[in-house]
Amino acid sequence: MTDQTVTSDSGSAKSAEQSSEFAASRLAGGDGRDAILEVENLRMYFPVKSSGVIRRTVGHVQAVDGVSFQVPAGGALGLVGESGCGKSTTGRLITRLYQPTGGKIMFEGKDIAGLSPKKLMPLRRDIQMIFQDPYTSLNPRHTVGAIVGAPLLIHNVVPKKKVLPRVQELLEVVGLNPEHYNRYPNEFSGGQRQRIGIARALTLQPKLLVADEPVSALDVSIQAQVVNLLQDLQREFDISFLFIAHDLAVVRHFCPEVAVMYLGKIVEIADRETLYNHPQHPYTQALLSAVPDVKQAAIGGRRERIRLEGDVPSPINPPSGCRFRTRCPLAQEICAKQEPPLLQIGERHKVACHFAGEIGQHPTKPVTARLLGIDDQGNPDPGATPDPNAVEQPGFADTWYDVQGGHLGAKA
């Protein structure tokens, strides 16, 4: 941490100076690790049609609304959140099963958000998806060999004669009997089917795998097999993962870095130690406290649950300001007026909350006010200059805003 303390008199020349310093370091870019995928301000709005005589578009499901993150090469980013928060949509946008409404998807430095299907073709080899339901995602009328080999034929990567040996090799990799290439999906159990799905995704040796709830539909005793398989594959083939799941424990186990989504936005993103041990967003805290923990409960050390009231609001009409405010126990006036930016508050930790802080240590004054050029109630403060860097960036900068200290922090 540096000693560049930000004085509280907002708008002073000094703090503006520091802001630009802050910006410079940000542009210098992250910590040197290459990102294979960089998503910036990604948005997906699904139109909602009226039921009138002429079917007009009356609104939009803001399924994903301004999401930014990075997936490091060879790493794994976890995406967690409640049902309907936009996790699958994000995954489908990255594999370009959907055309994004806006934003950038930089894959190996190239923006694929606006590419035509034809131009996407070669990229489809590099980005593959594993689906949640092993029962419906495999065509029941095709043999396993046909399912796993199809991408090879479509992309013309190996001569026809070599398809079968390659398929058998893949089946072996995922722990299935290679002699079973002639069988149909219904002859396999759920866990085995999920392996077939994984083999299919691996066929083209992708660089990035989007795994959308790969184990949720599986029985507990089978889940571990699949998780271990994915971990082995990642190590062996150096595949990067975007791992989507609602099971916080599985995500924590698999992903060194985790992003928490709520109603189409990322509310907190951090390395797993920080996120699970020192969450600063009230939603992350509530989510974590809701997870039953066998081992802790067994010795009577159950953590106090933070009860969330009510239901997730509709993504068609999300609340103004902070989207979590309708259920947030800390919500204040400013939360309705100003959307909190996803602010970097640690070396690899970003949070989007005006009152970010650990449980029981949330500040009483909004930490974001000065950066946004507003007062503590969320009204514009004519004396303050908003920090132009308080916008969301996919990666992490070398300097950050220290919430507790109220000053810039930096890598030691």
Ligand X SMILES: Nc1ncnc2c1ncn2[C@@H]1O[C@H](COP(=O)(O)OP(=O)(O)OP(=O)(O)O)[C@@H](O)[C@H]1O
Under the binding rule (CB under 6 A), the answer on residue 355 touching ligand SF4 is: yes
Under the binding rule (CB under 5 A), the answer on residue 137 touching Mg ion is: no
- Identify which range of 236-244, 249-257, 306-314, 324-332 contacts ligand SF4 by CB under 6 A: 324-332
Under the binding rule (CB under 6 A), the answer on residue 331 touching ligand SF4 is: yes
Binders of Mg ion among residues 57 to 86 (CB under 5 A) are none
Task: Say how far apart CA 1 and CA 351 lie, in whole Å.
Answer: 19
**Tokens coding 186:** 């219904």
Task: Say how far apart CA 187 and CA 198 lie, in whole Å.
Answer: 17
| String of contacts with ligand X for each residue 240-279, x by CB under 6 A | ------x---------------------------------
| String of contacts with ligand X for each residue 31-50, x by CB under 6 A | ---------------x----
Pairing assessment for the beta strands 343-346 and 349-351 based on DSSP bridges: antiparallel
- Identify which range of 86-94, 172-180, 232-240, 267-275 contacts ligand X by CB under 6 A: 86-94
Minimum distance, C-beta of residue 316 to ligand X, in the bound complex (Å)? 8
Contact pick of 88, 95, 203, 368 for Mg ion (by CB under 5 A): 88
DSSP-derived secondary structure letter, 97: S
**89 or 168, CB closer to ligand X?**
89
Amino acid letter, 68? S
Tokens 């540096």 identify what position? 2
Check: CB of residue 260 under 8 Å from CB of residue 266.
Answer: yes
Under the binding rule (CB under 8 A), the answer on residue 219 touching other proteins is: yes
Under the binding rule (CB under 6 A), the answer on residue 372 touching ligand SF4 is: no
Q: Is 216 exposed, middle or buried (0-12, 13-18, 19+ CB in 10 A)?
A: middle
Report the candidate in 200, 190, 197, 199 with the shortest Cα–Cα distance to residue 220: 190
**71 or 331, CB closer to ligand SF4?**
331
Task: Say how far apart CA 133 and CA 274 lie, in whole Å.
Answer: 31
**126 or 376, CB closer to ligand SF4?**
376
DSSP-derived secondary structure letter, 138: S
**279 or 394, CB closer to other proteins?**
279
Contact pick of 46, 98, 184, 276 for other proteins (by CB under 8 A): 276
Check: CB of residue 70 under 8 Å from CB of residue 394.
Answer: yes
Cα radius of gyration rounded to whole Å, the chain: 23
Q: Is 40 exposed, middle or buried (0-12, 13-18, 19+ CB in 10 A)?
A: buried
Under the binding rule (CB under 6 A), the answer on residue 130 touching ligand SF4 is: no
* Beta-carbon count within 10 A of 108 CB: 15
**88 or 95, CB closer to Mg ion?**
88
Under the binding rule (CB under 8 A), the answer on residue 286 touching other proteins is: yes
Pairing assessment for the beta strands 110-111 and 265-271 based on DSSP bridges: unpaired
Contact pick of 88, 168, 194, 280 for ligand X (by CB under 6 A): 88
**6 or 260, CB closer to other proteins?**
260
Contact pick of 159, 292, 360, 382 for other proteins (by CB under 8 A): 292
Task: Say how far apart CA 27 and CA 372 lie, in whole Å.
Answer: 20
**Tokens coding 31:** 């910590």
The size of the interface with ligand SF4 (CB under 6 A), counted in residues, is: 13
3-state secondary structure of 351: strand
Under the binding rule (CB under 8 A), the answer on residue 136 touching other proteins is: no
Amino acid letter, 70? Q
DSSP 246-283: S-HHHHHHH-SEEEEEETTEEEEEEEHHHHHHS--SHH
| String of contacts with other proteins for each residue 178-217, x by CB under 8 A | -----------x-x--------------------------
| String of contacts with other proteins for each residue 223-262, x by CB under 8 A | xxx-xx--x--------------x-xxx-xx---------
Task: Say how far apart CA 147 and CA 301 lie, in whole Å.
Answer: 48
**Tokens coding 30:** 């992250």
Instruction: Give the binding site for Mg ion (CB under 5 A).
Output: 88
Instruction: Give the binding site for ligand SF4 (CB under 6 A).
Output: 281-282, 322, 324-325, 328, 330-331, 335, 340, 353-355
Instruction: Give the binding site for ligand X (CB under 6 A).
Output: 46, 61, 63, 81, 83-89, 246, 315
Instruction: Give the binding site for other proteins (CB under 8 A).
Output: 51-53, 82-83, 189, 191, 219-225, 227-228, 231, 246, 248-250, 252-253, 272, 276, 286-300, 302, 305, 307-308, 310-311
